[in-house]
Amino acid sequence: MQSLDAVFISDLHLHPQDSVITNRFDQFIAWAATHTKKVYILGDFFHVWPGDDALDDWSRSIARRLAWLTQQKVAVFFMAGNRDFLLGKRFARLAGITQLKEPTVITLGNDRILLVHGDRYCTRDTGHQWLRLLTRNRWFPALFSCLSYSIRGKLVQSVRKHSQSSRKTNRNQSADWMDVVPKTMLRHMKQFQVQTVVHGHTHKPGLTILNEEMPFRQYVLSDWDDNPFLLCYHESEGFYFDRLGDCDGQEK
Ligand SMILES: [Mn+2]
């Protein structure tokens, strides 16, 4: 197997108290350095990110790992999710990563691919859509950063509690009413004139093909709680899922 063109990941929910996921991420970094040209992170990379002024030793160490990967000539792109939308230029500079707007369309081979975090399609979750409308506003980060660190911490905590209590079991698969609404997604794909979308957020990995006047492909990324799936793209093979656990960091 030759080098991959791109690997897509999301929903790691990295947290200083969760060394299992951090170790898994280390395993991924070592593997990615020799196996892919590009890494796309599609949001909820951090379990919580109250703003770049909250950078500490632990998050700096995560930035260093990403910076090391980019020094191995792997380009790393970052799109924010609902948990880390306050991740800013300071972290991006430290980590050497390129921030992507949500949504972003990229081209792989002859295909145009729509990249989103995924929460925008969960339109049955009206509480979250209101929160999204408020927090993804252009002025929100500036306004939020005016609040004291302790108030911000409390706000972030309460948002986390809300999203945890609305899930079946804390970080496992989301309940049906929190899932993607295909109609909303298809409308968005048609608007951007794409037939392929890649997203995370729902923690329900897999490929769904929706047959309309033509097939629309939806690739959903996995969380990192157990044995994460990586979505890989290879020029001649197209997209396929691979288990991180099967990747031993050795050249194939
Ligand atoms: Mn999310």
pLDDT tens digits, residue range 97-156?
999 999 999 999 989 999 999 999 998 888 888 888 877 777 777 777 777 777 777 777
- pLDDT score for 137: 77
- The Å distance, Cα 82 to ligand 1 centre, comes to 5
Q: How far is the CA of 120 from the centre of ligand 1 (A)?
A: 10
Other CB atoms within 10 Å distance of the CB of residue 157: 12
Q: What pLDDT is stored for residue 162 in this prediction?
A: 61
**Whole-Å CA distances, 28 to 31, 65, 116, 224:** 5, 10, 22, 11
Question: What does the pLDDT read at residue 164?
Answer: 55
Rounded to the nearest angstrom, the distance between the alpha carbon of 228 and the centre of ligand 1 is 16
pLDDT at 249: 44
CA atoms within 13 A on the CB side of 205: 20
Annotate 123-134 with b (16+ C-beta within 10 A) or e (fewer).
eebeebeebbee
Among candidate residues 17, 10, 28, the one with its CA nearest the CA of residue 246: 28
Quote the tokens at residue 171.
């970080």
Provide the pLDDT for residue 180: 93
pTM of the predicted model as reported, rounded to 2 decimal places: 0.87
Give start and end residues of each alpha helix (H) in the chain. Answer: 19-35, 57-71, 89-95, 126-135, 140-146, 149-165, 182-191
Question: Which residues line ion ligand 1, judged by CB < 5 Å?
Answer: 44, 81-82, 201
For the chain, the helix, strand and coil percentages under 3-state DSSP, each to the nearest 5: 40, 25, 40
**84 C-alpha to center of ligand 1: Å?**
9
The angle subtended at Cα 195 by Cα 207 and Cα 112, nearest 5°, is 110
Which tokens go with 12?
A: 């790691």
Q: How far is the CA of 43 from the centre of ligand 1 (A)?
A: 7
pLDDT at res. 252: 39
- Torsion angle, CA of 1/100/73/195, rounded to 10 degrees? 20
In angstroms, what is the span from residue 104 Cα to ligand 1's centroid? 17
Task: Flag residues of the chain having pLDDT under 70.
Answer: 1-2, 159-175, 247-252
Of 132, 149, 143, 127, whose CA–CA distance to 56 is shortest? Answer: 149
